[in-house]
Structure 1
Amino acid sequence: MKIQKEIIEFEKGKSFKLFSPGFKNCFFWHYHPEIELVYVEAMNGIRHVGKNISGFTDSDLLLIGANVPHLNFDYGIQTECNQLVLQMRENFLQDIILPVPEFENIKNLLERSYLALSFSGETKKIVVEKLQLMKDKNSFESLMGLIEILQILADSTEVKELNKEDTRIKWFLNDKIRMGTIYDYIHENHDKKPNVNEIAEIVSLSTPAFCRYFKKQTNMTFTDFVNNYRINQAKVFLLKDYSVTEVCFQVGFESLSYFNKLFKQHTGETPSEFKKKHFKAIEINGRIGVITRESSCHKEF
């Protein structure tokens, strides 16, 4: 579960690869020198890129720079999840983009991608449609499609930087703690009372040392991280048509008023507002369905 370098193989004569990964039961905390564009579609999920740990609802489109550590985006997702990943060769920026003056905006985009960029709105919609079309095109047409997508991203204002500082792998070289152990502990205990002293002992650190380490790794305290995880789990239960009160206690909160307050702080809307907005017929794999509490979970721990 330590951070791993992913070795990416490309087909001969191709500058990039486009595929749909599926790790599900695997905690894959990794990095690679290739720049990556990721689209993930799920009711609700958690993204961990560099220092940023945040949730998303419905879908997310991310541009992740070279050597930025990140967790696979389907980790912990208990419902249907679809991904589309585009990885560019390590020399893509240097050999294809930099020599062409007309690609100046794309160059700036790719150079800024080390912060991890999340795209939304019409940008996300258009780019995903073009990614889907690329799957059926020949090599040359696909490359032109990629250039077009990068230009759209470069010109977009519907973008958010997930990190505020450089989090490339050099920042993690001295990390000897197994982050997967921490994730697993929180997953198993978030609905109870996760104990910082207990997890510190599990990863062989004193409590003060663990708190310093955890804050450095995530920019969050252990308590804030647990509450963030609980809120994201709460979204899943709300989308399965549990009542707000049921969800509150299901994910480990002891006060309904505190749960409502914290949920709104994290999402900008109350649990009731979130449920009303998102609990509706959704399209999954070309069919219309409603997510209910009887829906099967696709993730096992």
Structure 2
Amino acid sequence: MKAEFEIIQPDEGSSFRILHHKVSAGTFRWSYHYHPEYEIVLVFQGSGRRHVGNHLSYYTNGDLVMIGSDIPHSGFGYGAIGTHEEVVIQFKENFLGDGFIRVQEMSAIKLLFERSKQGISFYGETREELNLRFRKLLELSHFERLIELLGILQFLAKSTEYVLLNASDIRYNFSLKDQERLNKIYKFVEDNFRQEIDIQEVADLSSLTIPAFCNYFKKNVNQTFTEFVNEYRINQACKMLLKGEDITDVCFHCGFNNVSYFGRVFREFKGKSPSQFRRAFIEELNQSVSA
């Protein structure tokens, strides 16, 4: 899978770029790309897919991720459910000059930049706080945005509410063979999730034995293959549920052969039952329409 190089220009009158997207999720085009700019992505709400380096997983109820320079990634709106709204900040390491990152006051932010080489997902109160700050960021002048960006970076640098998405630095110098192999696996799951998946077939597709495949997948994706397949199936189930389809039909259409097991796995990933998920989404949608 070849990542495309993306050219990014700062906003006029600014040293970095801020993007604000609020669109129907189905309009997002999948694009695996990289650029020298660091990137902070905040998805305000909803569910979708994150693909950062070798890590592929799904987020629920919003997301906050920092992506380092030259790390390949795809748009977070791909695979989203309902309306997708996000703010993206893109900036080069030297956006305030070649020496600014080396001054003593930037020591914590310098460590944050180092961690971001693996991709960082933030959660908890950190994400809640930045939900508010990113909303306000859009209303500020260029100078005020600059000051606020420094505050946001320092806030993220001090946070302990994060997980690293990749086991090591995965800037765009990784094995093309690995990317092609993972892309085959993802495509196979996408094409076959409705039926029982034989792990031997996937291992053969990867030119690995079953034990070697299981170790390889866990190392590169930070999930077992079973977890990955179940998460993919549940996210497909969410889309069907929001179209009003019957829960039992959704269960079997998404590759589960037992309604009870489907409900248990759904709750593991979404924190609620299929019926509760659908009801909560409808209530949220009605509130946003009436607001």
Same fold (TM over 0.5): yes
Structure 1 counterpart of 2:152: 149
Alpha-carbon separation, structure 1, partners of 2:260 and 2:18:
46
- Could you tell me which runs of 5 or more consecutive residues in structure 2 were left unpaired when the two chains were aligned: none
TM-score (norm 1): 0.76
Deviation at 1:95, TM superposition (A): 2.9
Alpha-carbon separation, structure 1, partners of 2:287 and 2:70:
32
What is the aligned-residue identity percentage? 38
How many equivalent residue pairs? Answer: 286
- Evaluate the alpha carbon distance shift between residue 148 and residue 96 of structure 1 in structure 2; reply closer, same or farther with a 3 A threshold: farther
What code does the residue aligned with 1:50 have? Answer: G
Q: Which moved more, 1:41-50 or 1:181-190?
A: 181-190
Structure 1 counterpart of 2:284: 282
User: Where do 1:251-262 residues align within 5 Å?
Assistant: 251-262=254-265
Structure 1 counterpart of 2:14: 14
Structure 2 counterpart of 1:117: 120
| Among candidates 125, 131, 135, match of residue 132 of structure 1 | 135
Larger fraction in helix: 2
Structure 2 counterpart of 1:294: none
- Could you tell me which runs of 5 or more consecutive residues in structure 1 were left unpaired when the two chains were aligned: 290-301
RMSD between superposed Cα atoms in Å: 3.6
8 A contact 1:31–1:67 mirrored in 2:
yes
8 A contact 2:166–2:221 mirrored in 1:
no
TM-score (norm 2): 0.79
Structure 2 counterpart of 1:69: 72
Deviation at 1:34, TM superposition (A): 0.9
What code does the residue aligned with 1:233 have? Answer: Q
Alpha-carbon separation, structure 1, partners of 2:282 and 2:188:
32
Deviation at 1:122, TM superposition (A): 2.9
Alpha-carbon separation, structure 1, partners of 2:240 and 2:264:
17
Alpha-carbon separation, structure 2, partners of 1:6 and 1:116:
18
- Evaluate the alpha carbon distance shift between residue 41 and residue 192 of structure 1 in structure 2; reply closer, same or farther with a 3 A threshold: farther
- Evaluate the alpha carbon distance shift between residue 179 and residue 74 of structure 1 in structure 2; reply closer, same or farther with a 3 A threshold: farther
Paired residue secondary structure (2:144): helix
CA-to-partner distance for each residue in 1:207-260, whole Å, 9 max, x for gaps? Answer: 759958766653556554322200222334445565543332131211223323
- Evaluate the alpha carbon distance shift between residue 154 and residue 278 of structure 1 in structure 2; reply closer, same or farther with a 3 A threshold: farther
CA-to-partner distance for each residue in 1:100-154, whole Å, 9 max, x for gaps? Answer: 3222222222221112222223322322322222223222111001111112222
Alpha-carbon separation, structure 2, partners of 1:247 and 1:174:
35
8 A contact 1:34–1:87 mirrored in 2:
yes
| Among candidates 29, 34, 41, match of residue 32 of structure 2 | 29
Paired residue secondary structure (1:118): strand
Deviation at 1:67, TM superposition (A): 1.7
